[in-house]
Amino acid sequence: MKSAVLVFPGINRERDMARALKLASGNDAAMVWHADTALPAGTDLVVVPGGFSYGDYLRCGAIAARAPVMDAVRDFAAKGGLVLGVCNGFQILCESGLLPGVLMRNAQLKFVCRDVHMKIERSDTPFTRGYNAGQVIRVPVAHGEGNYEADEETLKRLEGEGRVLYRYCSPEGVVDEASNFNGAANSIAGIVNERGNVLGMMPHPENHVEEIMGCTDGRGLFAGLAQHLEKAA
């Protein structure tokens, strides 16, 4: 698995992401600067990590979405390449038009930094094959604008086409208002594009891949990607 991790001014999770990718695949990820106009040759997976790109000015991800490297990312995705955006990366993917909807301020208007639980809706995608459908995992979140919103028609399409891959839930797997800590529509934590090769999610699976962190529930996402790409090769 040959991965490329984008680096924007203000991004702060790129090293965490690169470490998770190496643990899963055994290969170092290429770090790609926002002003670059091309991805490394042979790239299998592009990752847009979390942080505060460009200081979150204007709107979260709005400036990063217009960085030179994003044209290469859009071309890569259009050809079927896998793209993963986490937290600020999810916001960037929405602002760049690679995913529908927008990430708004959390319902309580507060920054939330803690572990939450997510239910895996499907296990037949490159991003979820490391899990079982219906499985509940625990992962950290750290965001102030994670409230996913879209118009009614878009939400119907996402649900009807099975494009919601991750959903906030209780530790027991119950999807309810109490577990929807940021107010996201339909408790959405992660979605894919129509083709299924671009995923955006708010929680940080890269921070739960090692035993020393007390939880390895995020490991399945990266292991599944590595297995998918190994099989594809």
Three-state SS for 74? Answer: helix
- CB of 203 closer than 8 Å to CB of 141: yes
Which residue among the candidates 169, 206, 208, 228 is catalytic per the annotation? Answer: 206
d(CA 178, CA 64): 33
- The domain spans of the chain are 3-232
Which residue among the candidates 34, 117, 204, 208 is catalytic per the annotation? Answer: 204
Strands (E), 112-182: 112-120, 136-143, 147-149, 164-169
Q: What pLDDT is stored for residue 233 in this prediction?
A: 63
Q: What pLDDT is stored for residue 111 in this prediction?
A: 97
Is 34 annotated as catalytic? no
Sign of torsion, CA 11 78 21 68? negative
Count CA within 13 A, CB hemisphere, residue 193. 20
Q: Which residue has the tokens 């042979």?
A: 42
Residue 140 neighbours by CB under 8 Å, 6+ apart: 113, 114, 115, 116, 203, 204, 207, 208
> Residue 231 — very low, low, confident or very high, per pLDDT cuts 50/70/90?
confident
pLDDT tens-digit series, residues 74-86: 999 999 999 999 9
Is 204 annotated as catalytic? yes
Pair type for strands 164-169 and 198-201: unpaired
79: tokens are: 């050809």
Which residue among the candidates 87, 94, 95, 169 is catalytic per the annotation? Answer: 87
Q: Which CATH number is 3-232's, of 2.40.50.100, 3.40.50.620, 3.40.50.880, 3.40.50.970?
A: 3.40.50.880
pLDDT tens-digit series, residues 104-162: 999 999 999 999 999 999 999 999 999 999 999 999 999 999 999 999 999 999 999 99
DSSP 220: H
- Residue 196 amino acid letter: G
Average pLDDT, the chain: 97
Is 87 annotated as catalytic? yes
> Residue 232 — very low, low, confident or very high, per pLDDT cuts 50/70/90?
confident
Q: What pLDDT is stored for residue 27 in this prediction?
A: 95
- CB of 57 closer than 8 Å to CB of 63: yes
Q: What pLDDT is stored for residue 49 in this prediction?
A: 98
